[in-house]
Structure 1
Amino acid sequence: MVGIVVDQMRQEYLYRYESKFGEGGFKRLMREGFMLTNAHYNYAPTVTGPGHASVYTGTTPAIHGIIGNDYYDKELKKMVYCVEDPTQRMIGSTMSGGVSPWRMLSTTVTDELELFTNKKAKVIGISIKDRGSVLPAGHMADAAYFPEGRGGNFITSSFYRNDLPEWVTKFNARNLPATYITKPWTPLLSIEQYTESGPDDSPYERKIGGKEKMTFPYNFAEMIAKGGGDVFAYSPYANDYVTEFAKAALVGEQMGKDEVSDFLAISYSTPDILGHSVGPRSVELQDLYMRLDRNIDDLLKALDKEVGVGNYTVFLSADHAVADVPQFMKDNKVPAGYFNDEYALAKLNEYLATFYPGKRLIEKISNEQVFLNHNAFDGDARTSGLDMFVVAELAGKFLMTLDGVANYYTEAIIKQSDFDEGGLKGKIIRGHHAKRSGDIAFILEPGWFEGNSVQGTTHGSPYAYDTHVPMLFFGHGVKQGTSSVYHPITDIAPTVSILLKIMFPNGCTGQPIAELLKD
C-alpha cells in the first residue's frame, strides 16, 4: 500500500494543468484508477498536521487531537508543535530535540496494519516536513524519515529506532541535495506556453532566498552564496529527493516482496512550501506540478518493477488546498482581506475591561480560536462558570464587530451540537477538541485569512477553496472510474482498511468508499 499526500493541492489542478501532464503520472492514476471529484475536508482548520493525521486516522481533530501545526497548550501556557517530543532525540543528526506522534490520540491505518500483522509489516513514512512523515507513519512504524533542516541527510527519531539502516546511510552518502542545487531551475516549457497561469513577473509573490524578482530562472547555488538561506525545500529538486528516497526505501526494506502487506507513506511538501510564497496562479507552481507529475510517473514505474503491476495499491490526496492571494482578489474586485490576531486580542481585552475592570480575560488568539484566561475568574465554581459563559458570549459579540469575522461559536454551543452536523458549523465542531481547543472558535469571511502580507497566501478555512482536494485510488482492488458523490477525507482510512482487510483505526468516523472497490 502506497499513500501519497501532496501538501497544498487543489482538485482543480488536475483539470487546469492536465494538458501539460504526461501520460504516466497523474493521468495514469486518473485513467486507470478511480477518481473522487467531490472530496473535501470536513473540518477546520485545514492545515498540514491535522490534514495528515485525518487522512491516516480516518477521523478529525475533535477525536485525534492534532488541532493545528502549532497550537496553544492551555496547561503549559505556550505554543507547542504538533510532533515535538522532548523525550526523544534525532537519529543521524546532532539537532536538539526530537519528534514523535505522541500527541495524536487515535491509531492510524498504518498502526492497524502493524497490529494485524504482529509488526511483521514494514511501515515507512517519508517527507521533507517531519510532521508529514511522522503522523502518517503512526505510532508503530519501522521509521519516519525526513531531511535534516529540510535539505540535508535523511534522519529519523529515537521514537522509532536508535540507528539508521545501512541503506539510508548509503543513500545519504550520495549527497543528492548538493548535486541538485547546482542546477538552476528553468521552466520545462517557454513561459508563453504557461497559459494556465498568470504572468511570471507578478506583484503577488513573496520573495524567497533574497531574490530581487520572483521570475525564472532560479539559480539556487547563487542565492545561497548571497546569503539566501535554505532554499532547497522551495525547489522542485526537493520532490526529486523525496522520490529517490522512496525508491531507495522500496529496495532497501524489500517492501512488497513477501506475503505480508507493507505500507509506504509519502508526503510531497514542496508544493506547500513554495505555494505559500507564490500563490496558486503562478508559473512557478504550475512548473512544479508538471515536474511532480514526472515524479509520480517515476514512482509508479519503480513500483511496477519492484513490486509488480497489480501487486500494489496507491491512494493520492492532499492535506488541504489553498486560498488565492487576498490582494489579488481585491484588485480583481472580489471581496477578500487580512485579519490581524494581535490587533483583535488587544481590542478584545480593551472591550472586556469595561465590564471586568483590571482583568485580562483573553489569554491567546490562535488558529481562529480564542482562549480565555481561566485564572482571571475567581469566586466559587458557580460564579466562575457563569462569568466564563458570559465573557465568551461578550467576546463573540465583539468579534462580530471586527472586519472579516463571519461568525463565532462558543464552547458551550459546540458541545451541545451533533458531531455530524452539516455546514460550516459542523466543520468547526469536528475541528474542536474538547481539552485542547479554545473557548471560542470564529470563522472569517470567504477570501480572508490571518496575516497582513499582500504577497503570498495560506490556508486553514472551512471554505471550498481550502477543503476541496484530490482523492485518487489506483491498483489492486480498485475499479476504474470516477464519482462526483461527496466524500470527506476521513473516508480514505476505512477504504484502505477494507483493501488491506484489517481493523479500522480506533477513532475512525469515516466510511469505506464502496463505489471504488472491486469486491
Structure 2
Amino acid sequence: MKKHILFLTFFTILISGCKVQEVKQETTSAKPKLVVGIVIDQMRYDYLRRFSNRYSDDGFKRLLNNGFSLENAHYNYIPTYTAVGHTSIYTGTTPSNHGIISNNWYDKFLKKSIYCVDDSNYKTIGNESSTGKKSPVRMQTTTVTDQLHLAQNMNGKTIGIAIKDRSAILPAGHTANGAYWFDGGKNGEWVSSSFYMENLPKWVLDFNKSGKADSYLKTPWNTLYDINTYTNSIVDDNIFEGKFTGETTTSFPHDIPNLKEKNGGFNIIKAIPAGNSFTADFTKAAIIGENLGKSNYTDFLAVSFSSTDYVGHQFGPASKEIEDTYLRLDKDLADLLSFLDQQVGQNNYTVFLTADHAAVDVPSYLQSLKIPAHYLSFSKFKKAALEITKKYFNSIELIENISNYQIFLDKDKIESLGLDKNVVAEKLVEEVINFDGIYKAVSAKTMQTSNFTSGILNSLQNGYNQKFSGDVLLIPYPATLTGGRTGTSHGSGYSYDTHIPVIFYGNGIKKGVSKKSYEIIDIAPTISNLLQIEAPNSSTGKIIDEALK
C-alpha cells in the first residue's frame, strides 16, 4: 500500500512538473507584442568591431551579447542603394522581383527619370509642401509588414519612421497605418502622405510643436569624448573629407547654429548625429502615441536611422565624424532599448538590426595609400558610348539614357533605322569594356538567357529587372566612385558595399553567433517564421533557423 501511495505521489509530482514546463514553454514561445526593425543607413559590418572598445554594454553590445549575430551577411544584388536595401530587407527578395531598382531611375515607359516613392495622386499631410506626395506604389510585392497585417485580418499596427521618406515608406509596406518622414528646410516637421491618413495624429502634432528639432541645432557638434582618444579614425583635418557650406576646415567643432541657414535650415539635422537622436525621440513618441505592443495583436515598428548615411557621404568611413556618430548612436540605441523594456516589456518584443548598404573607403584616401581606387567620369563615358554607336551604326541617337551604370537604348530610333536592338547592345558590350574604369559589361539579353550562380555577375542578375532595367549593364572597377574626391558613396556589389551587420534580439531569438553565409533577403522569411505568418509573396530568402528558439 505504501509503495502504491509513493508511486502515485511520484507520478503526481512528475505530471505537475511536466505541466509547469509546458506552461513555461508556452510563455517563452508566445509571439512578440511588438517587432522593431532597425535599419542603420550606410553601416559597415566592421563598425560593430572597430568602435566596440567605446560602446556601452547597453547598446550594440547588448544586442550582440544577448542576441544572435550574423558575421557573414551580405547584400546579394546590385545596386546597393537606400531604397533598394530597405525594400529587399522587408520583401525578402531582390530588385528582379520587387521592382525598386534604385533610388531614382530612368523610366523607359514615361521617358523620364523617376523617384522611387513619388506619387502625385497623394498630398502632404502635415503642411502645404510637396514633400508628402509619396506612396509605395512602385514596390511590386508585399512586405513582411503587409503579411503580418493580412495574417491578423488587418489588426495590429504598422508604423514606418525615418528622416528619409523612402526609408519610412518602403519598409512599412502597402497596408501601413502610417509612415512618417522629416520635412526640413524652413518647416522642421514630421509629415506623412494622404496615402495613409487624412490628418496627422495628435501625438505627431504635439511632437512637431515641441521644439525638439530646433533644440538639437542650438549647440555646435563637438566630439562626445576627448578627440585625442578617437584612435579608430584618421587625423581630423584632412583633404579626404567634405565641408559644410560656410566652413573653412573639416575639423571639429562644427558650428551648427551658425551653419544652419547656409546648409538648408532644418535639413542640417539630417547630416549630424543629432538626427539619429531626433529620430529616436520621435520613435518613442510613436510607441506611446500609437500604444504599440499593448494590444492582443502583434504590432510592427520599422525605424531607419538615416544620419549615419549623410555623415558617411560627407566625411567617409575613416573620419572622426563617423567614429563620433556611431558612439552617439550607441547611446541612442541603449536609450531606445531601455524604453522598450519599460513601455512594452523586456520579453514582449523582438528586434532585428541591419543596414541598407555599407560604403567604400574614400578612393582618394585609398590612392594615398597606394591601394587601387578610381574615379569615373560619366560625361566622358557617355561621349565614348556615342562614339561607338557613331562608328558602328552611323548614329548618335541610339542611346536614350545612361544612369545607374545602365544604358537604355532608343528602341524606336533603332527600329526606324532597320537595326536590331540586340546587335546594338552587344556591340556596346564589346566596346565599352575598353573604357578605362569599366570592369565588366553585360547585355539585357545575357541577363535573360544566362544563369549566373555566384560572384558579382550573380549580384548583377539579382538586381536586373526585365521590365524596368536598361539594355546594357555595367560594373566598374572595385573602389570606384563618380563625382568629387571627398567623402564616400556606395552602390556596387563588392564586399565593402555588401557586408553589413544582421542581429536578431528578444522574444523567440537564441543567443549566439554564426559565421555561415547569409543574404539580406533572409531577414523577412525569418521574421515571418518567428511570427508564424506567410512570408512576403515574392520572397526568395531562406529561414535562418539557427537564430530562432
Normalised TM-score (structure 1): 0.97
User: 1:165-206: CA deviations, max 9, x gaps?
Assistant: 111111111021111100211101111111111111111001
Q: Tell which deviates more after alignment, 220-229 or 167-176.
A: 220-229
Q: Take 1:180 and 1:415, find their aligned partners in 2: how far apart are those partners?
A: 51
Aligned to 2:84: 50
* Aligned ranges 1:213-228 → 2 under 5 Å: 213-225=249-261
User: 1:452-510: CA deviations, max 9, x gaps?
Assistant: 31111100000000000000000000000000000000000000101111110001000
* Aligned ranges 1:99-114 → 2 under 5 Å: 99-114=134-149
Q: Tell which deviates more after alignment, 366-375 or 137-146.
A: 366-375
Q: Secondary structure at the match of 1:355?
A: helix
Q: Take 1:72 and 1:84, find their aligned partners in 2: how far apart are those partners?
A: 13
Whether the aligned pair in 2 keeps the contact of 1:210 and 1:228 (CA below 8 Å) is no
* Aligned ranges 1:186-205 → 2 under 5 Å: 186-205=222-241
Aligned to 2:462: 430
Aligned to 1:126: 161
1:391 matched to 2:394: no
1:165 matched to 2:201: yes
1:462 matched to 2:497: no
Q: Take 1:392 and 1:193, find their aligned partners in 2: how far apart are those partners?
A: 54
Aligned to 2:329: 292
Distance 1:227 1:336, change over 3 A: closer
Aligned to 1:444: 476
Q: Take 2:95 and 2:398, find their aligned partners in 1: how far apart are those partners?
A: 26
1:371 matched to 2:408: yes
* Aligned ranges 1:305-316 → 2 under 5 Å: 305-316=342-353
Q: Secondary structure at the match of 1:397?
A: helix
User: Which of 285, 295, 301 pairs up with 1:258?
Assistant: 295
Aligned to 1:402: 435
Whether the aligned pair in 1 keeps the contact of 2:156 and 2:295 (CA below 8 Å) is no
Aligned to 2:172: 137
Instruction: Give the CA RMSD over aligned residues.
Output: 1.3
Q: Take 1:379 and 1:271, find their aligned partners in 2: how far apart are those partners?
A: 49
* Aligned ranges 1:325-404 → 2 under 5 Å: 325-378=362-415, 384=419, 387-404=420-437
- Counting aligned pairs with the same residue, the percent is 44
Q: Take 1:453 and 1:359, find their aligned partners in 2: how far apart are those partners?
A: 28
User: 1:349-391: CA deviations, max 9, x gaps?
Assistant: 12211222244111111111111111211259xx64xx21111
Q: Secondary structure at the match of 2:393?
A: coil
Matched to 2:548, the amino acid is: L
* Aligned ranges 1:1-20 → 2 under 5 Å: 1-20=35-54
1:180 matched to 2:211: no
Gaps of 5+ in 1: none
User: 1:315-359: CA deviations, max 9, x gaps?
Assistant: 000000001111111111011111112221122112211222244
Matched to 1:434, the amino acid is: Q
Q: Take 2:123 and 2:294, find their aligned partners in 1: how far apart are those partners?
A: 31
1:80 matched to 2:114: yes
Please report how far the alpha carbon of residue 226 of structure 1 lies from its aligned counterpart in structure 2 after TM superposition.
5.4
1:507 matched to 2:507: no
Q: Secondary structure at the match of 1:201?
A: coil
Distance 1:227 1:330, change over 3 A: closer
Q: Secondary structure at the match of 2:168?
A: helix
Please report how far the alpha carbon of residue 78 of structure 1 lies from its aligned counterpart in structure 2 after TM superposition.
1.2
User: 1:376-431: CA deviations, max 9, x gaps?
Assistant: 11259xx64xx21111111112211111111111111100123x721111100000
Distance 1:304 1:342, change over 3 A: same
Q: Take 1:191 and 1:210, find their aligned partners in 2: how far apart are those partners?
A: 23
Aligned to 2:182: 147
Q: Take 1:278 and 1:81, find their aligned partners in 2: how far apart are those partners?
A: 26
Q: Take 1:278 and 1:498, find their aligned partners in 2: how far apart are those partners?
A: 39
Q: Tell which deviates more after alignment, 178-187 or 482-491.
A: 178-187
Matched to 1:195, the amino acid is: T
Matched to 1:487, the amino acid is: Y
Matched to 2:197, the amino acid is: R
Aligned to 1:411: 444
User: 1:237-265: CA deviations, max 9, x gaps?
Assistant: 11111101110111111101122000000
Distance 1:206 1:447, change over 3 A: same
Q: Tell which deviates more after alignment, 89-98 or 434-443.
A: 89-98
Matched to 2:76, the amino acid is: N
Q: Secondary structure at the match of 2:184?
A: helix
Aligned residue-pair number:
512
Please report how far the alpha carbon of residue 68 of structure 1 lies from its aligned counterpart in structure 2 after TM superposition.
0.3
Matched to 1:100, the amino acid is: S
Q: Take 1:411 and 1:378, find their aligned partners in 2: how far apart are those partners?
A: 17
Matched to 1:435, the amino acid is: K
Q: Secondary structure at the match of 2:102?
A: coil
Q: Secondary structure at the match of 2:260?
A: helix
Whether the aligned pair in 2 keeps the contact of 1:345 and 1:364 (CA below 8 Å) is no
User: Which of 52, 57, 60 pairs up with 1:26?
Assistant: 60
Q: Take 1:271 and 1:499, find their aligned partners in 2: how far apart are those partners?
A: 29
Please report how far the alpha carbon of residue 224 of structure 1 lies from its aligned counterpart in structure 2 after TM superposition.
2.1
Whether the aligned pair in 1 keeps the contact of 2:389 and 2:395 (CA below 8 Å) is no
Q: Take 1:226 and 1:52, find their aligned partners in 2: how far apart are those partners?
A: 31
Matched to 2:182, the amino acid is: P
Gaps of 5+ in 2: 1-34
Q: Take 2:378 and 2:442, find their aligned partners in 1: how far apart are those partners?
A: 17
